[in-house]
């Protein structure tokens, strides 16, 4: 194995370890369609949603919310119309490990 391929393998292993650590830190994140996210949101009395706008050429909107111990995530090409009772926290960025 050459020094270059060893360095590449080390970098890949470090990246995999960082992703695994991020998943451990964040817990289970459930990805749902925007429609399903809105249905879950309507089941809560005092919902809190974290949102962020992303995209360079095509904007998209990301949303996170906790529900019954799980974190739900959705992404939409257009902003979702959230109910008036939702506490919205605007984040600079939402990053979800793949």
The per-residue pLDDT for 81 is 96
DSSP, collapsed to helix, strand or coil, labels residue 61 as strand
Residues 6+ apart with CB under 8 A from 39: none
Phi, psi at 35, each rounded to 5°: -60, -45
The per-residue pLDDT for 36 is 97
The per-residue pLDDT for 23 is 54
Q: Which domains does the chain have, with CATH numbers?
A: 28-90 (3.30.720.90)
* Predicted TM-score of the model (pTM): 0.72
The per-residue pLDDT for 33 is 97
The per-residue pLDDT for 3 is 55
Tell me which residues of the chain have a pLDDT lower than 70.
1-27
The per-residue pLDDT for 55 is 87
């Amino acid at each position: 194995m050459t020094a270059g391929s060893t360095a590449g393998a080390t970098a890949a292993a470090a990246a995999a370890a960082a992703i695994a650590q991020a998943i451990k830190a964040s817990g289970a994140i459930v990805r749902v369609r925007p429609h399903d996210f809105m249905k879950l949101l309507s089941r809560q009395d005092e919902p809190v949603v974290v949102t962020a706008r992303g995209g360079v050429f095509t904007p998209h909107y990301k949303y996170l919310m906790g529900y019954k111990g799980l974190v739900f995530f959705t992404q939409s090409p257009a902003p979702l119309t959230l109910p008036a009772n939702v506490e919205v926290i605007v984040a600079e960025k939402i990053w979800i490990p793949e």
